[in-house]
């Protein structure tokens, strides 16, 4: 259709935005394979520990 009116069109592949791996900030003390970056909703294991009266800073991987 473009050629019929003398126009050329360049089609470029859309580049997918890549998300960088975000390092985990928190680790489940009962299951070290469960971690959380601190972004988004907190995982169930962390919510349960907080509901027990624990502080989320107890579960920091690299506390300062």
Contact between residue 25 and residue 36 where contact means Cβ atoms under 8 Å apart:
yes
| pLDDT tens readout for residues 3-42 | 788 888 888 777 666 667 899 999 999 999 999 999 999 9
In a domain, 5, yes or no: no
Burial of 41 (0-12, 13-18, 19+ CB in 10 A): exposed
In a domain, 51, yes or no: yes
Q: What pTM did the predictor assign?
A: 0.65
In a domain, 3, yes or no: no
| Number of independent structural domains in the chain | 1
Cα dist from 11 to 3, 7, 8, 17, whole Å:
14, 13, 10, 18
Element containing residue 15 per DSSP (H, E)? none
How long is the chain? 64
């Amino acid at each position: 259709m473009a050629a019929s009116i003398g126009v050329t069109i360049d089609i470029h592949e859309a580049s997918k935005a890549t998300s960088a791996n975000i390092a985990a900030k928190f680790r489940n003390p009962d299951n070290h394979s469960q971690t959380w970056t601190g972004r988004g909703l907190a995982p169930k294991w962390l919510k349960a520990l907080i509901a027990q009266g624990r502080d989320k800073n107890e579960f920091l991987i690299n506390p300062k």
